Structure 1
Amino acid sequence: MRISRLILFLFLLGSCWTSSGQETMRTDTISVKIYFRQGYSTLNPSFQDNGPRLDMLIRKITDLNQDPMCRIQSIRIVASSSPEGNSVLNKRLSEKRAIRISDFLRRSTDLPDSLIETDPRDIGWLELTGLVETSNMPYRDEVLDILHYTPEWIIRNGKVVDGRKRQLWMLHGGDCWRYMEEYFFPELRGADVRVVCQVVRQSESVVLPAERDTVASTSRDPIVAVRRDTTVSRDTVRTSDVADPLCKPFYMALKTNLLYDMALVPNIGAEFFLGRGWSICGNWMYAWWKSDRRHRYWRTYGGELDIRKYFGRRASEKPLTGHHLGGYGQIFTYDFETGGRGYMGGKPGGTLWDKMNYAVGLEYGYSLPVGRRLNLDFTVGVGYWGGEYQKYLPEDGHYVWIETRQRHWFGPTKAEISLVWLLGRGNYNTKKEGKR
């Protein structure tokens, strides 16, 4: 009988102790977001309502510290930066932001330094992914595909050949990057101050292990309590001794019109990508072949200025590639004579301005990748060709003028099959775009 009573007493005692432990203790995480200006680590209370946020945070920490039923276990400062700029500088910027808030908390509270931890995380990729997932931004699924499955750095033979930043920058001609830069990147330029505390509703305090990582709210509310969660980070291929070549992609190209080259008219051009599918390009040609004994002349020189708009699937994937429409203006002069009647553009002698012809028109073309840094550009243009020209005959070592006329021509004024050499940081074709 005594043994039965003893067993029943121990059973009831254990049940009461277990129930009490489960009902009277919990671990909470309180988070506040502090914002910084782009490229700065100065803690500015007047920026983005930082002042009220910091005041409320200090008041909350003070209240928790004075509450006998609460025990602050840690204060963790998770700082990050937005993807613009050099990764090494972004890492230092995140570290400085975490230190600025840590120093502020040490000055404003009487908590021991051992409770305050800093966790600088370079670029806030996970937070950016969360912002994209909960948005209705254009091309959302394609952006998420890059964020989920493209490593931050892709390295081959010890060199960075591609990466997450470059693919996001190039996606749809930079439209996605510019959208995130305006709406999402400001949220990444900051630090989450996470206060992990244990709340106990009875006099005795039992220390339970707190989770180290929590998901901070990105709400604009000054302070919010959030439930604990587990964050799984993706593997990325990166190296600490490789410089960041993706500070900001730069796209330009040098080119030569193979049709002019075949006609023995050397020429060279340059094209610069302006963004949003637009580019500006110019070229120059010069040929001055002659044979006085046989009166054979092949002379021409001049230049062109061209503005283009790229469009289509290829253009959205890679600048300076795919379909393009544009307008162009040309100035040039010429002197052609092959043993008979000759034709000279403009007035004899003087500069190009004295004897130039001109053309203006609209063009259509397609730039096709054929190698890692090579494209073939096919272009035709239709417009107006105007200017003065002379007719003459070579006789007895002299040139006899016949007549002067004005050129008025509407029709094809431009034809190109250009070999294009892609230059600039990040300006190359991937394997699927062009054969290596």
Structure 2
Amino acid sequence: MQARVLIVSVFILLECFHLFGQESRKEVCIGFPVGNSILDTAYGDNAVRLSGMVSFLESVRKDSTLELTEVSFYGSASPEDSFTMNRELAEKRRNSLERYVRECVSLPDGIISCSEGGIAWERLVELVEVSDIPHKEETMDVLRNVPEFIYNNKGILVDSRKKRLMELQHGRIWRYMHEHFFNQIRNVGVILVMVRQKPVIEEKSVFKEDPAAVVEEVDTVVAVSTETSKPFCMAAKTNILYNVLAVPNIGVEFYLGRNWSISGNWMYAWWKKNSNHRYWRVYGGDFAVRYWFGKKAHERSLTGHHAGIYGQAFTYDFEWGGKGYMGGEPGGTLWDKTNYAVGLEYGYSLPVARRLNIDFSLGVGYWGGKYHEYTPLGGHYVWQTTKNRHWFGPTKAEVSFVWLLGRSNSKKGGGR
């Protein structure tokens, strides 16, 4: 409880609005639970701070006298854990902040910058500088003058700022900072906004002396409107299971925001060999609405756990030298007594590359529709029976390659 009070206190101190002539700066700090990168609006004062920042951005966008020059996102962690772990955690926190803000406010890509996350050394310097820590001068010398990493001529890491701090006074300085400072820099994400006054363009009048008349020339300035659009996220995909079964297929999925998406898939296979009575025909499609959740879903669109509802419509004709099965109306189209299915689905989209996921999904529901059984006889096909299908169980299975498209679909990292 004490640590949480200290964190909230630091957030209040850090939130500021500084004026520098015609340019202003607004900074807000957002809290994260220990070791967590998921943005929780119910944590601490996050709801109030995020709402205030979103309202501020909206007001600047609507003010014709102001313009946004930069919106920066920064995530940080304390020095206790490994550098790799700290950098990864800070990067995920930064991505969570950017995703939340850009879903709430339409911002052009050109003003977005993402600082590389890591240990909040600058904030630690500020805390040490105003503290009563023993051996302050020695500690400040390490913080300001020792590089974060020191390599020899062969590129081998031989020393670091963290190591020097841990060795100061046989570890007493490190223990002091752990007790008094680390809890204030451990769980922080920062949003920084730069705003400036739009330049005022004055009309210039030029007068030419003329015995007959005075002519006023006025420079004309044409205002160019700037339009911004919400980040576009989508994916193209194909089901590997269907491809293995010689059923070509393709699908698309569109991210709607707030962790919701819609997807559609189409398959078409029309293989036949009359001489051997071989028919492998199926075509149709499905439509699904999905909700994305979990840790990965907060880091990147169309990634992580998802659940949803789906509907399918399809027709088929399968016969392999013996009894055949045909779904739908013989000689008809997809809509002539088509087979259909509806159900619930769950899946997980696993990121394997910057713009490539593998999606594993399974759907369970109801499959209905009319189908016919027939037997090949010579060069003809003899209808045996017509039945209505009523099936409850698995009706959908996917192991799909998913190609991520759009500005907000690549894993973010580094400056832009």
Length-normalised TM-score, structure 2: 0.51
Query: What SS does the corresponding residue of 2:395 show, helix, strand or coil?
Result: strand
248, 267, 283: which is aligned to 1:285?
267
| 1:412–1:127 CA distance, 2 compared to 1 (3 A) | same
Q: Which amino acid aligns with 1:347?
A: E
The whole-number CA distance in structure 2 between the counterparts of 1:177 and 1:399 is 60
Residue in structure 2 matched with residue 137 of structure 1 by the alignment = 46
Of the three residues 333, 348, 355, the one matched with 1:366 is: 348
Asked if 2 retains the 8 angstrom alpha-carbon contact of 1:137 and 1:179, the reply is no
Counterpart Cα distance in 2 of 1:422 and 1:287 = 26
Q: In structure 1, the residue corresponding to 2:254 is in which secondary structure? A: strand
Partner residue of 1:192? none
Q: Which of residues 121, 127, 131 is equivalent to 2:26?
A: 127
Alignment counterpart, residue 362 of structure 2, candidates 373, 377, 380 = 380
Instruction: Say if 2:307 is the partner of 1:328.
Output: no
What residue number does 1:314 align with?
296
1:223 aligned partner: none
Shift of 1:340: 0.3
Task: Specify whether residues 131 and 359 from structure 1 end up closer, same or farther in structure 2 by C-alpha distance, changes over 3 A only.
Answer: closer
Whether the aligned pair in 2 keeps the contact of 1:372 and 1:429 (CA below 8 Å) is yes
Say which SS state the counterpart of residue 275 (structure 2) adopts.
coil
* Mapped partners of 1:275, 1:390: distance in 2: 44
Contact 1:392/1:401, CA 8 A, preserved across alignment: yes
Q: 1:130/1:262 Cα in 2 relative to 1: closer, same or farther (>3 Å)?
A: closer
Q: CA deviation at 1:372?
A: 0.9
For residues 3-402 of structure 1, what are the structure 2 equivalents within 5 Å?
119=22, 121=23, 126-129=25-28, 136-138=45-47, 147-148=73-74, 171=96, 174-177=99-102, 248-402=230-384
- Alignment partners' CA distance in 2, 1:281 and 1:275: 14
- Aligned residues of 1:312 and 1:323 also touching (Cα < 8 A): yes
Q: Residue 129 of structure 1 contacts residue 147 of structure 1 at CA under 8 Å; is this kept in 2?
A: no
Alpha-carbon distance, 1:138 to partner: 4.0
Name the CA shift for 1:341/1:354 in 2 (closer, same or farther; >3 Å).
same
8 Å Cα contact 2:292-2:304 kept in structure 1: yes
Aligned counterparts of 2:49 and 2:310: Cα–Cα separation in 1: 36
Structure-1 residue corresponding to 2:14:
none
Cα deviation for residue 287 of structure 1 reads: 0.1
- Whether the aligned pair in 2 keeps the contact of 1:305 and 1:330 (CA below 8 Å) is yes
The answer on whether the counterparts of 2:103 and 2:258 sit within 8 Å (CA) in structure 1 is no
Change (3 A) 1:148 1:294: closer
Letter in 2 for 1:287: A
Q: Which amino acid aligns with 2:45?
A: N
Aligned with 2:231: secondary structure? Answer: coil
The verdict on how the C-alpha distance between 1:148 and 1:290 changes in structure 2, with shifts beyond 3 A counting, is closer
Tell me, in whole angstroms, the C-alpha distance in 1 between the residues paired with 2:19 and 2:75: 28
Tell me, what secondary structure is at the counterpart of 2:346?
A: strand
Would the aligned equivalents of 1:173 and 1:317 in 2 still touch at CA under 8 Å? no
**Secondary structure class of the residue paired with 1:293:** helix
In structure 2, how many angstroms separate the alpha carbons of the residues matched to 1:295 and 1:139?
70
Q: Report the Cα distance in structure 1 between the residues aligned to 2:297 and 2:75, rounded to whole angstroms.
A: 23
Contact preservation (8 Å) 2:354, 2:410:
yes
Question: 1:421 — aligned with what?
Answer: 403
For the Cα contact (< 8 Å) 1:279–1:308, is it kept in 2? yes
Structure with bigger gyration radius: 1
SS at match of 2:96: helix
> Residue 127 of structure 1: CA displacement?
1.2
Q: Summarize deviations over 1:348-401 as a string: whole Å, max 9, x none.
A: 012110041000000000000001110000000100000000000000100100
1:177 CA drift (Å): 4.8
Distance 1:266 1:327 in 2: 23
In the TM superposition, residue 176 of structure 1 has moved relative to its aligned partner by 4.8
1:376 and 1:356, CA in 2 relative to 1: closer, same or farther beyond 3 A? same
CA distance in 2, matches of 1:179, 1:248: 9
Distance, in Å, in 1 between the alignment partners of 2:26 and 2:97 is 22
What code does the residue aligned with 2:400 have? Answer: S
Residue 325 of structure 2 aligns with an amino acid whose one-letter code is Y
CA separation of 1:130/1:359 partners in 2, compared to 1, >3 Å: closer, same or farther? closer
- The corresponding residue for 2:82 is none
2:26 is paired with a residue whose SS is helix
Change over 3 Å in CA distance of 1:148–1:352 after alignment to 2: closer
Query: Structure 2 stretches of 5 or more lacking a match?
Result: 1-16, 32-43, 54-71, 77-89, 107-191, 195-225
- Are the equivalent residues in 2 in contact too, given 1:248–1:425 (CA < 8 A)? no
CA distance, structure 2, for counterparts of residue 395 and residue 269 of structure 1: 38
Question: Aligned letter for 1:137?
Answer: N
For 2:375 and 2:46, the matched residues in 1 are separated by 68
Gap regions ≥5 residues in structure 1: 1-32, 34-75, 79-117, 151-163, 182-233, 237-243
Could you tell me how far apart the structure 2 residues matched to 1:131 and 1:346 are? 57
